[in-house]
Structures are given as structure tokens and as C-alpha cells.
Amino acid sequence: MMFKKDLSLLVLILVVGTIVAIINPRFLSPINIANTANLIGLFGMFSIGMGFVIITGGIELSVGSMFALLGVIFIDLLVNYEMNWPLAMLLMVLAGTALGWLHGYLVTEMRLQPFVVTLCGLLIYRGIARYYTNDGTAGFAFGMNFPALEWLTTGRAFGLIPHSFIVFILLALVMGIVLHKSVFGRYLFAVGKNEEAARYSGIRTHRIITAAYVISGALCGLSAIYLAMYTRSISPASHGSFYELYAIAAAVLGGCSLRGGEGSVLGIVLGAILLQVLQNLVNLLGIPSSLNFAVIGGVILIGVLADQQIVRRRAQLKLAKT
């Protein structure tokens, strides 16, 4: 069942990719593929965390604002406080984790709605980020270099495969095992499907839900660093804006149900790939870049609609048989 959904997504990616490649052969050029892979890695990392939250039946809207806030702090720590970068990186991941825990705590123990909690996060973190830099742009001074950090984040293996993509794939493998094979993963699905039955089975549902937000927060902390190193300068008013929507789109395309209890890491990976292929399509086919969002939105809508129709048709066939 899950596998079928992933397969149809893969087919969709291949179809879209083939069409673009036929119209513009540059799609398959090594440079274009490497650049697209880099974006897939950058946007995919936090999409996995979003998937975990969505599987609990929740949502995480503060992702983009977290990137702005953690990004400006990270650059500030490196540039103005001259902190060594592994420590700064660790601090940012911890900060993301803490924010995730806070969201989980508010959702479970304070019984607030995830949408409201993370919407407030979206507003608050963006505001603090702008205040932090006085609405100015945070960036590295000219000639300032962190070779090891740059190798890790923006480097390319064999001069081609972006490290961000490699990190994303490694993360996806680990998180895939966690979600689909571990006790925690099973609990996550149980809580998302039927929180009450999970509770009656002795599962500490609040902890499980909080853990999903914590994982999402930690991945956001990591992504914040990768994005900061990718852009190298951060204007806190716009950095990361709408990135949560990319993550939600990837998760939903990948088969996560906003009602909770459904989803797969493979699906999210494929969803993230499709999104970047679509972005790439807009560029390569000479579609005005202002239409970017409209194209992505349209394709998602058609995809979800088609999927729904196929599911319905299949159910009808099944009924007719019996």
C-alpha cells in the first residue's frame, strides 16, 4: 500500500523529468543535476522532521522563522564572538531541539493546537531574528573563511555530489529505520492513528508526540546551518520565508496524511525531489520565475486529486468484486 504510493510518486518524477529533459537537455547536465541535488538536500533535511510531526497529526509552521533566528545567531557566534564552529553548530542544533521540545510541551501538556503553537513560533522567532540584527543583514566579512565548515556544508564529493545531499540521504536512511523499524516509530504511527487506543495500550502518548517535535526541531537546527552557509548572508526579514510550506508539501506529496498516522520517509524523500525538479522546470522551461509558486501549487493539487481518484476507483473495483 505504502509502497504503491511511493512508486506512483517515483513515476511522476520520472515523467516530469523526461518531459523537461526533452524540452531542455540542459536538465541532465551534471552541473544542473548537482545544483538540484544540493537544493534537494537542503530542503529535504527538515522535510523529514516535518513528516514526523505530521504523522502525529500535528503541524510545524515555525520552520522558516527558526532558520532566520538560528541563522543570524550562528553567524553572529562565528563572526563576532569568534566561537569555534563545531561548538556553535552544536549549540544551534541544541537550540532547535529546545524549541521543538517547547512546541511539543505546549501541544501535549498545555493542550494547545499545533497550528496555533507553531504559528505563534513563526511570528515570534521572525520578530526576534529581525530585532537581533536591527533588521540588518548578517553575513560573513569579505575574505572570512571556515574551510572545514564549508567543506562539510557546501562541499562536493568528487567535485560533484553536494555534501548537503549526502547528509540528507544518510539522515533519510537513519530516520527511515527509526520510523519504519523501531519501537518509537511504531508508537508514532499508533498515536497518529488512534491516540486513545495507544494510551489504553500503555504508550506514553505525550512523550511520543513531544519527541516528534524535538526531532523536527533538531533537524531544523541542522538545516539552519546548512542554509546559512549556502546563502552566506541572512536578511532576517525574508530568510527562510515559506520554507515550512516546502516541507509540508514534500510530506503531503510523499503520502503523509494531515489527519495523522500515515507517511513514509521514502515518500518524503521523493516528495522533496519532485518539488525541486518542479522548481528546476520553471527555470529551464523559461517560465517566468514569478509563476514559480503557481506552478508548484498547481502540480501538487493535480497530483493529490489524481491520487484521490485512483484510490476511490480502486475501492470501487474492490467493492464490485465482492
Partner 1 sequence: MEGEPARCYDRAGFIAPRTDDRHMSALQAASAAPFLDLIDIGKTYPGVVALSAVNLSVAPGEVIGLVGENGAGKSTLMKILGGVTAPSEGTIRIDAAEHAAMSVKDATKAGIAFVHQELNLFDNLDVAANVFIGREPRFGGLLNLIDTRALHEKVTPLLRRLGADFGPATPVAILSLAQRQLVEIAKALSLDARLVIMDEPTSSLTASETARLLDVIADLKKNHVSVIFISHRLQEVERCADRVIVLRDGKVVGRLDRAQIQHDAMIRLMIGRDLKSLYIPPAAPPREVALDLAEVRTAAFPSQSVTLGLRGGEILGLAGLVGSGRTELARAIFGIDRRLGGQIKLLGQVLEIAEPRNAIHRGLYLIPEDRKQSGLVLDFSVAENISLANLPAYARASLVQDNAETRNAEQQKAKLKIKVPSVATRTSSLSGGNQQKVVLAKWLSMSPKVIIFDEPTRGIDVGAKGEIYELMRALADAGVAILMISSDMEEVIGVSDRIAVMHEGRISGILERNEFSEDRVLQLAIGKSLREPPAMKLAMGG
Cell 499508533, located at residue: 190
The single residue among 20, 54, 72, 198 that binds partner 1, judged by CB under 8 A, is 198
Cell numbers placing 178: 527509526
Residue 197 touching partner 1 (CB under 8 A): yes
Closest CA relative to residue 221, chosen from 80, 125, 124, 109: 125
Q: In the bound complex, what is the minimum distance in angstroms from residue 187's beta carbon to partner 1?
A: 7
The single residue among 201, 289, 308, 316 that binds partner 1, judged by CB under 8 A, is 201
Handedness of CA 149, 152, 157, 162 (dihedral sign): negative
Characterise 90 by phi-psi region: left (phi > 0), alpha (psi -120 to 50), beta (else).
alpha
The single residue among 15, 173, 177, 291 that binds partner 1, judged by CB under 8 A, is 177
Show the binding pattern over residues 223-262: x = contacts partner 1 (CB under 8 A), - = does not. Answer: --------------------------------------x-
* 3-class secondary-structure state, position 81: coil
The radius of gyration computed from the CA coordinates of the chain, to the nearest angstrom, equals: 20
Q: In the bound complex, what is the minimum distance in angstroms from residue 228's beta carbon to partner 1?
A: 33
Q: Which stretch binds partner 1 (CB under 8 A): 64-72, 145-153, 185-193, 238-246?
A: 185-193
Whole-angstrom Cα distance, residue 58 to residue 75?
31
Residue closer to partner 1 (CB basis): 150 or 307: 307
Whole-angstrom Cα distance, residue 217 to residue 214?
5
The single residue among 101, 140, 184, 230 that binds partner 1, judged by CB under 8 A, is 184
* DSSP symbol at 236: T
Q: Which stretch binds partner 1 (CB under 8 A): 32-40, 59-67, 182-190, 313-321?
A: 182-190
Kindly determine how many residues on this chain lie close enough to bind partner 1 according to the rule CB under 8 A: 21
Q: Which amino acid is at 21?
A: A
Residue closer to partner 1 (CB basis): 18 or 182: 182
Handedness of CA 94, 96, 97, 99 (dihedral sign): positive
Residue 183 touching partner 1 (CB under 8 A): yes
Whole-angstrom Cα distance, residue 53 to residue 51?
5
Residue closer to partner 1 (CB basis): 132 or 184: 184
Residue closer to partner 1 (CB basis): 141 or 183: 183
Q: In the bound complex, what is the minimum distance in angstroms from residue 256's beta carbon to partner 1?
A: 14
Q: Which amino acid is at 320?
A: A
Residue 186 touching partner 1 (CB under 8 A): yes
DSSP string across 5-29: HHHHHHHHHHHHHHHHHHH-GGGGS
Q: Which stretch binds partner 1 (CB under 8 A): 41-49, 113-121, 189-197, 231-239?
A: 189-197
Q: Which residues bind partner 1 (CB under 8 A)?
A: 177, 181-184, 186-187, 189-190, 193-194, 196-204, 261
